[in-house]
Structure 1
């Protein structure tokens, strides 16, 4: 009899069930993260969906299921970077990205101060924006941010400090 050293395969539906459960629990937080990074909800929805599709494809290769959320979060950040890179290339060829037109209802809900912060946040360099969004909107700690962005925790702290200084300057709150 031939000996097989590979682990037994999961039942066919197990990966779908686990990824679906993770999606239901965390999709809104990941969607908010993507919206803050790319600037519009339809694109953010695509980024989040792609992240979960990638997670599903790679589920069998995950060494630790506990890191599935970190994988999805990193995929959302990387997918958002790809979108922004494509927009940048398009701009070089004279094709400008048209930001979404906010409805009157959403304008009324979103206060003027918050809107100013969001506009200033979009003007920050990519890494600063990502660190601030992950820290203050996603509520992640330095180690989690470092893992999601592939940088050292000390870089997270430095980038956050510089990002906050730049954000204050953009908002005219520098003392």
Structure 2
């Protein structure tokens, strides 16, 4: 496990310390655990290829990883949209017993409502409320201004509230 006073972390230490949080972020964006794990693995692989095993500054490495996960999730979603254009949509499989335990009814409703938001609104909410990033970190990750983050988050919360009220 990475300790701040021990010098620059290794990619392996970052992986063990932050993999689960990044997988949760990716799951919220792509709505598929297996794909989310692939996205995160690819981000760590890219970090290793770019910097080697030793990472000089943890904040930059984490920002790089978050941005890589968000960008890869966008690519996954684009590929899905393209694939849907060529194949009929399929009904999702029933949740497994493990997923039922992990996600209670309220979480499933919120996840379903999140799926109805635009990609940008979903990204901002997931980064803010599930990954606990600041507006500045979200702006950096998504390549937008802090003001845009604020307005997108506000609109996204309004939309999410309306969607959830309609379901009730």
- What 5-or-longer segments of structure 1 have no aligned partner? 1-14
Q: Greater Rg, structure 1 or structure 2?
A: 1
TM-score by length of 2: 0.86
Alpha-carbon displacement from aligned partner over 1:73-124 (angstroms, at most 9, x marks no partner): 0000000000000000011112536645411343244221211011000111
Q: 1:82 to 1:99 in 2, by over 3 A?
A: farther
Tell me which moved more, 63-72 or 127-136: 63-72
Tell me which of 43, 46, 56 is aligned to 2:38: 46
In structure 2, the residue matched to 1:11 is none
1:80 counterpart = 2:77: no
Seen in structure 2, the aligned counterparts of structure 1 residues 80 and 41 have a Cα distance that, compared at 3 Å, is same
Cα RMSD (Å): 2.0
* Residue of structure 1 aligned with 2:87, choices 90, 94, 97: 94
Whether contact under 8 Å (1:40, 1:99) holds in the other structure is no
Match of 1:23? 15
Q: Structure 1 residues 64 and 106 mapped into 2: Cα distance closer, same or farther (>3 Å)?
A: closer
Q: Following superposition, which runs of at least 4 residues in structure 1 exceed 4 angstroms of deviation?
A: 62-65
CA deviation vs aligned residue, 1:50-74 (integer Å, no higher than 9, x gap): 00000111116x8855300000000
Structure 1 residues 46 and 95 mapped into 2: Cα distance closer, same or farther (>3 Å)?
farther
> What is the aligned counterpart of 1:69 among 62, 76, 81?
62
What 5-or-longer segments of structure 2 have no aligned partner?
A: 1-7
* Residue number in structure 1 paired with 2:160: 167
Say which SS state the counterpart of residue 151 (structure 1) adopts: coil
Please tell me whether the aligned partners of residues 87 and 97 of structure 1 are also in contact (alpha carbons under 8 angstroms).
no
Look up the SS of the partner of 1:145 in the other structure. Answer: helix
Pick from 128, 134, 137: which aligns with 2:130?
137
C-alpha distance in 2, partners of 1:103/1:87? 22
**TM-score relative to the length of structure 1:** 0.83
**1:27 match: secondary structure:** helix
Number of equivalenced pairs? 157
Does residue 35 of the first structure (1) align with residue 27 of the second (2)?
A: yes
Q: Decide whether the 8 Å contact of 1:31 with 1:48 is kept in 2.
A: yes
